[in-house]
């Protein structure tokens, strides 16, 4: 049986359609930045009468908007001021309050049904902002599957249907595309819940706000197109969603993340289940840095493959091996000595850590394996500039595309090694053709 993605065609968007998508992203980002500013203006906790904490992980918490009963007796969950008691003398905040307090005025609230609660998440991650952004970027099908695996937010089926803006050497984090996917649910839940698919605009970037402060963003926002109708005949519900994540470096080792949006699963899915699944998806942001570290570690492995092979050949000539860190010798402890999968040097088990790395991406899924790495190489991968890795991968994309175009049409490739990620793929990555020149605006320039 063919997967639902087989019924999803690729799109050739017109310049006007691309512009509309870019403008929609710009509007969502601008709105979220203003609400984030309001959130940060009040350092105290959220008003428990209005917001209920539904899930947390470490220092990252997710809240849902409570339903409120007004004078007419009607129950609503329309957007309210995010925090009470903000200094109304601040004209910038006062302006924001007046525009986000009225139901239906905001870009996000205007597409949300009244009974669907707004979700807000906030917290801190240990690390660097560029690791948060690089861990989120998924500019092609392979990197998308790597991200969902490392961030523990797996999809049952997925497809990139159009690419509007690709990462460049100058802006390796900037990306804008139309994506379709079916999120993977827990096995027990899948027995009772019909599949839900999402058709969204996805955007990532690293830019400066109107106050001159740098920030990263990750946006997924609903998209509609007549060529991509709902798959009702396949028993699949089309969800509505809009989520925007803003990240900022608040000190040399900590990043603050603010997120806002909603997910409307349609159908008869229980309200509590919807909120729980949305919260879990938002909490996957906590794995951004881990995703970046894993991708950088794999990149380093691909860059130093020859050096590692030479190191192992030299060590095979040495009869008595010892740990390069603590000098523990082999002897009867020989079985406890192992080789670092990056540098190729020998270490004891106490001087290594196991890390799961994706080694193969095929049509059937991804294959992960645990490898030993010395503490020095783990630190090296953590400190490796994500910007340099992203630029190198963008450069290799251009080379791969040129190579693929020049390959004879009669030549088929069942599997190959993608040098960008150092993994085996079952086929060349499917990449939409280049988009025509267009004016996308400051958010994507």
Does 269 reside within a domain? yes
**How many domains does the chain fold into?**
2
Instruction: For residues 128 and 51, state if they share a domain.
Output: yes
Instruction: For residues 170 and 317, state if they share a domain.
Output: no
Q: Quick one: pLDDT at residue 37?
A: 92
- Among 344, 365, 384, where does a domain finish? 384
Taking the C-alpha atoms of residue 104 and residue 412, their distance in angstroms, rounded to an integer, is 53
Instruction: For residues 113 and 166, state if they share a domain.
Output: yes
| Phi, psi of 299, deg, nearest 5 | -60, -45
Query: 297-329 burial, b for 16+ CB within 10 Å, e for fewer?
Result: bbbbbeebeeebeebeeeeeeeeebbbbbeebe
Which of 76-80, 122-126, 324-328 bottoms out in mean pLDDT, i.e. has the lowest? 76-80
Give Cα 367 to chain centroid, integer Å.
19
Does 428 reside within a domain? no
* Orientation of helix 305-316 relative to helix 288-303, angle to 10°: 60
CATH of the domain at 317: 3.30.40
Instruction: For residues 367 and 283, state if they share a domain.
Output: no
Tokens of 381: 């991968």
Instruction: For residues 56 and 157, state if they share a domain.
Output: yes
DSSP string, 210-269: TTS-EEEEEEEEE---TTS---GGGT-EE-EEEEEEEEEEEETTEEEEEEEEEEE--TT-
Does 404 reside within a domain? no
Instruction: For residues 48 and 115, state if they share a domain.
Output: yes
Instruction: For residues 270 and 374, state if they share a domain.
Output: no
Instruction: For residues 59 and 147, state if they share a domain.
Output: yes
Residue numbers of the domain that contains 318 = 305-384
Whole-angstrom CA distances from 12 to 160, 178, 226, 434 are 12, 11, 12, 10
Instruction: For residues 148 and 32, state if they share a domain.
Output: yes
As a whole number, mean pLDDT of residues 110-129 equals: 92
Does 390 reside within a domain? no
Beta carbons within 8 Å of 193's beta carbon, 6+ residues apart: 185, 269, 273
SS3 percent helix, strand, coil of the chain, rounded to 5, is 35, 30, 35
- Among 349, 366, 384, where does a domain finish? 384
Taking the C-alpha atoms of residue 106 and residue 104, their distance in angstroms, rounded to an integer, is 6
Residues 251-307 pLDDT 10s = 999 999 999 999 998 877 777 888 888 898 899 988 999 999 999 999 999 888 766
Residues 372-431 pLDDT 10s = 999 999 999 999 999 999 999 999 877 766 554 455 544 444 455 665 666 666 554 444
At residue 18 the predicted structure's pLDDT band, cuts being 50, 70 and 90, is very high
Residue 41 pLDDT exceeds 90: no
Q: Quick one: pLDDT at residue 396?
A: 85
Instruction: For residues 282 and 350, state if they share a domain.
Output: no
Which residue would you say has higher pLDDT here, 311 or 414? 311
Does 444 reside within a domain? no
Q: Quick one: pLDDT at residue 433?
A: 42
pTM above 0.85, yes or no: no
Does 424 reside within a domain? no
Instruction: For residues 177 and 237, state if they share a domain.
Output: yes
At residue 161 the predicted structure's pLDDT band, cuts being 50, 70 and 90, is very high
Does 214 reside within a domain? yes
Q: Quick one: pLDDT at residue 317?
A: 46
Instruction: For residues 135 and 252, state if they share a domain.
Output: yes
Report the relative pairing of strands 352-362 and 423-425 from DSSP bridges. Answer: parallel
- Among 350, 384, 418, where does a domain finish? 384
What is the sign of the dihedral through the CA atoms of 43, 44, 47 and 52?
positive
Average pLDDT of the chain, as a whole number: 79
At residue 334 the predicted structure's pLDDT band, cuts being 50, 70 and 90, is low
Does 178 reside within a domain? yes
Q: Quick one: pLDDT at residue 354?
A: 95
CATH of the domain at 78: 3.30.530.20
């Amino acid at each position: 049986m063919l997967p639902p993605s087989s019924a999803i065609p690729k799109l050739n968007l017109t310049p006007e359609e691309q512009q509309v998508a870019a403008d929609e992203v710009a509007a969502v980002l601008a709105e979220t930045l203003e609400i984030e500013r309001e959130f940060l203006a009040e350092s105290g906790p959220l008003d428990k009468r209005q917001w209920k904490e539904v899930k947390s992980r470490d220092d990252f918490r997710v809240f849902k908007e409570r339903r409120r009963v007004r004078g007419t007796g009607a129950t609503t969950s329309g957007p309210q001021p995010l925090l009470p008691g903000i200094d109304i003398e601040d004209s910038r905040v006062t302006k924001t309050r007046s525009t986000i307090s009225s139901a239906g005025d905001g870009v996000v609230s205007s597409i949300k049904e009244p009974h669907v609660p707004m979700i807000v998440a906030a917290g801190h991650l240990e690390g660097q902002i560029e690791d948060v952004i690089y861990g989120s970027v998924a500019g092609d099908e392979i990197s998308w599957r790597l991200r969902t695996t490392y961030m523990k937010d797996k999809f049952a089926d997925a497809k990139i249907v159009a690419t509007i803006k690709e990462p460049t050497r100058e802006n390796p984090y900037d990306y804008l595309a139309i994506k379709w996917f079916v999120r993977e649910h827990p096995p027990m839940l899948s027995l009772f819940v019909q599949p839900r698919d999402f058709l969204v605009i996805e955007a990532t970037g690293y830019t400066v706000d109107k106050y001159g402060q740098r920030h990263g963003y990750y946006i997924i926002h609903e998209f509609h197109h007549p060529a991509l109708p709902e798959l009702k005949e396949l028993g699949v519900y089309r969800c509505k969603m809009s989520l925007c994540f803003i990240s900022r470096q608040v000190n040399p080792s900590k990043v603050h993340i603010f997120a806002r949006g909603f997910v409307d699963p349609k159908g008869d899915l229980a309200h509590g289940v919807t909120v729980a699944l949305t919260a879990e998806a938002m909490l996957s942001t906590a794995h951004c840095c881990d995703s970046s570290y894993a991708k950088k570690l794999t990149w380093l492995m691909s860059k130093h493959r020859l050096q590692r092979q030479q190191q192992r050949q030299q060590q095979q000539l040495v009869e008595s091996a010892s740990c390069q860190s603590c000098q523990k010798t082999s002897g009867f402890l020989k079985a406890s000595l192992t080789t670092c999968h990056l540098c190729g040097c020998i270490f004891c088990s106490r001087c290594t850590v196991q890390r799961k790395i994706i080694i193969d991406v095929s049509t059937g899924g991804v294959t992960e394996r645990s490898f030993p790495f010395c503490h020095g190489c783990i630190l090296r991968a953590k400190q490796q500039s994500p910007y340099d890795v992203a630029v190198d991968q963008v450069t290799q994309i251009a080379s791969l595309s040129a190579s693929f175009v020049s390959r004879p049409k009669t030549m088929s490739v069942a599997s190959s090694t993608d040098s960008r990620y150092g993994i085996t793929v079952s086929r060349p990555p499917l990449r939409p053709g280049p988009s025509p020149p267009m004016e996308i605006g400051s958010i994507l320039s």
